[in-house]
């Protein structure tokens, strides 16, 4: 799976437990999920079509589960 420089940086920051001075986009999305009392349950690399990978982020909010289409790199960065 090929990922962009921004996504790679976001993943690296998370792996190193480095908090930037201001939230980056992935942090913003995680903050929104937390505020809405939602949680990422899992990330699934769901498909490969025409040399393009697809992912699903499964999010639980209250008693419901939602499948959200995502690029694999964004899904991994959020996980």
How would you class 77 by CB atoms within 10 Å of its CB: exposed for 0-12, middle for 13-18, buried for 19 or more? buried
Tens-place pLDDT, residues 14-60? 788 888 778 778 888 999 999 999 999 999 999 999 999 999 999 99
In this prediction, residue 21 carries a pLDDT of 79
pTM of the model: 0.79
Residue 38: partners with Cβ closer than 8 Å, 6 or more residues away:
59, 60, 61
Architecture in CATH for domain 5-78: Roll (3.10)
Residue 3 has pLDDT above 80, yes or no: no
In this prediction, residue 69 carries a pLDDT of 97
Residue 2 has pLDDT above 80, yes or no: no
Residue 75 φ/ψ region, left for φ over 0, alpha for ψ in the -120 to 50 degree band, beta for the rest: alpha
């Amino acid at each position: 799976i090929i990922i962009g420089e921004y996504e790679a940086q976001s993943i690296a920051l998370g792996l190193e437990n480095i908090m930037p001075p201001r939230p980056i986009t992935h942090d913003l999305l995680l903050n929104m999920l937390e505020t809405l009392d939602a949680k990422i349950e899992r990330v699934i690399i769901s498909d490969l079509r025409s040399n393009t990978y697809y992912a699903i982020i499964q999010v639980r909010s209250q008693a419901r589960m939602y499948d959200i289409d995502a690029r694999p790199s964004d899904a991994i960065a959020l996980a």
